[in-house]
């Protein structure tokens, strides 16, 4: 990997740590490729690991039309999740040090086998042990939350924090997994409404897409990982109005997931 890619990894990592928005990398470096962007992402995650964070899973992003339209990037991407990003279910999300955080409704899977090769839908289903609801907090490190495909990939797919709710064995909900009514409420008012089918027609397709991208780059996702499937609806800003104080996602029969929000500075 070149010195430039390492330097850009430091740039996005520092921006996340400092809570400071930066110009899009693609403006100064228009020749960056998608593989370069993933190399920057991996190097920025390696810096987190060096500081003691542990990678505990991956997130898929831009797996619904609503999300693609909101940010103007039209292909699925992935990012890494670390233990430091995890906020407990019913816990407190402190916005201190975040730039322009948004929250979005998701599903997550727990895998029970390594993923290194492209999976069929059936093979992906077979290695999901559990499924549950999740809230993802994204916080693009780019000014005005504006980016190209390569920019957002380099920025670890805007990942910031995430909350996972209680999980159920996949077998209990498998038949209905593409027909869940997902409602995300802010301070008790429903704000985003979608269907789990909005996630690539079926959320398991998101894991299939991740497996294809991993296979193409020769990387492995270890067994026991968390995988966020990507938001079903557009994201909601957390600092709007008086400031959001509580967020809940319902999608029966999965148990709901919620988080309290501390305005921070
Ligand atoms: C990019 C990340 C997208 C999702 O669930 O679609 C994402 C962004 O919107 O900043 O996490
Ligand atoms: Mg997301």
- Tell me the pLDDT of the chain averaged across its residues: 97
CA distance 20 to 126: 42
CA distance 100 to 93: 14
**Mean pLDDT, residues 220-224 taken together:** 97
Weakest mean pLDDT among 108-117, 145-154, 155-164, 232-241: 232-241
Which residues of 196-244 form beta strands (DSSP E)?
226-228, 236-237
Judge whether 257 and 163 are in contact, CB under 8 Å: yes
Burial class (CB in 10 A: 0-12, 13-18, 19+), 144: exposed
Cα(97) to centroid of ligand 2, in Å? 20
Residues 6+ apart with CB under 8 A from 253: 168, 172, 173, 176
Judge whether 101 and 265 are in contact, CB under 8 Å: no
Residue nearest to atom 10 of ligand 1 (CA): 158
pTM above 0.95, yes or no: yes
pLDDT in tens, 28-84: 999 999 999 999 999 999 999 999 999 999 999 999 999 999 999 999 999 999 999
Closest CA to 177 of 107, 72, 84, 259: 107
Please list, residue by residue across 199-226, b when 16 or more beta carbons sit within 10 angstroms of its beta carbon and e when fewer do.
Answer: bbebbbbbbbbbbebbeeeeeebeeebb
pLDDT value at position 205?
98
pLDDT greater than 90 at residue 175: yes
Which residues of 146-245 form beta strands (DSSP E)?
159-169, 181-186, 189-195, 226-228, 236-237
pLDDT value at position 198?
98
Residues 6+ apart with CB under 8 A from 93: 87, 137, 161, 163, 259, 260, 261, 262
pLDDT greater than 80 at residue 265: no
21, 161, 230: residue to mutate for ligand 1 pocket, most atoms within 8 A of CB: 230
Q: What percent of the chain has pLDDT over 70?
A: 100
pLDDT in tens, 71-120: 999 999 999 999 999 999 999 999 999 999 999 999 999 999 999 999 99
Question: 3-state class of 187 per DSSP?
Answer: coil
Work out the pLDDT band at 181, boundaries 50, 70, 90: very high
Q: Which residues line ligand 1 (CB under 6 A)?
A: 59, 61-63, 67, 71, 104, 136, 138, 140, 152, 157-158, 230-231
CA distance 195 to 191: 14
Residues 6+ apart with CB under 8 A from 171: none
Three state DSSP letters for 2-56: CHHHHHHHHHHHHHHHHCCCECCHHHHCCCCCHHHHHHHHHHHHHHHHHCCCCEE
Closest CA to 251 of 175, 165, 188, 159: 165
pLDDT value at position 146?
97
* Residue 59: strand pairing partners: 79, 228
Cα(175) to centroid of ligand 2, in Å? 24
Cα(61) to centroid of ligand 1, in Å? 4
Cα(154) to centroid of ligand 1, in Å? 13
Assign residue 149 a region (left: φ > 0; alpha: ψ between -120 and 50; beta: otherwise).
alpha
User: DSSP assignment, residue 224?
Assistant: T
pLDDT value at position 119?
98
98, 138, 249: residue to mutate for ligand 1 pocket, most atoms within 8 A of CB: 138
pLDDT value at position 1?
76
pLDDT value at position 254?
98
Q: Which atom of ligand 1 is nearest to the CA of 230?
A: 5
pLDDT greater than 90 at residue 191: yes
Work out the pLDDT band at 241, boundaries 50, 70, 90: confident
Q: What pairing do the DSSP bridges indicate for beta strands 246-251 and 254-262?
A: antiparallel
CA distance 36 to 41: 9
pLDDT value at position 264?
79
pLDDT greater than 80 at residue 20: yes
Cα(79) to centroid of ligand 1, in Å? 9
């Amino acid at each position: 990997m070149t010195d430039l890619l390492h330097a850009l990894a430091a740039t996005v990592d520092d921006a996340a740590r400092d809570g400071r928005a930066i110009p899009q990398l693609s403006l100064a470096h228009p020749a960056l490729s998608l593989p370069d962007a993933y190399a920057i992402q991996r190097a920025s995650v390696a810096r987190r690991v060096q500081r003691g964070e542990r990678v505990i899973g991956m997130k898929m992003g831009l797996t619904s039309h609503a999300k693609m339209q909101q940010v103007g990037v039209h292909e699925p991407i992935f990012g890494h999740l670390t233990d430091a990003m995890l906020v407990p279910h019913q816990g407190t999300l402190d916005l201190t040090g975040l730039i322009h955080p948004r929250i979005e409704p998701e599903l997550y899977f727990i895998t029970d086998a390594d993923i290194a090769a492209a999976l069929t839908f059936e093979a992906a289903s077979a290695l999901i042990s559990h499924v549950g609801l999740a809230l993802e907090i994204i916080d693009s490190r780019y000014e005005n939350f504006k980016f190209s495909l390569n920019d957002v990939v380099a920025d670890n797919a805007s990942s910031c924090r995430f909350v996972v709710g209680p999980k159920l064995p996949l077998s209990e909900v498998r038949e209905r997994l593409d027909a869940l009514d997902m409602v995300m409420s802010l301070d008790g008012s429903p704000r985003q409404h979608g269907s789990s089918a909005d996630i690539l027609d079926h959320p398991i397709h998101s894991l299939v897409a991740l497996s294809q991208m991993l296979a193409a780059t020769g990387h492995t996702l270890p067994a026991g990982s968390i995988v966020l499937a990507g938001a079903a609806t557009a994201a909601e800003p957390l600092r709007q109005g008086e400031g959001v104080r509580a967020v809940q996602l319902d999608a029966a029969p999965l148990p709901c997931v919620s988080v309290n929000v501390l305005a921070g500075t």
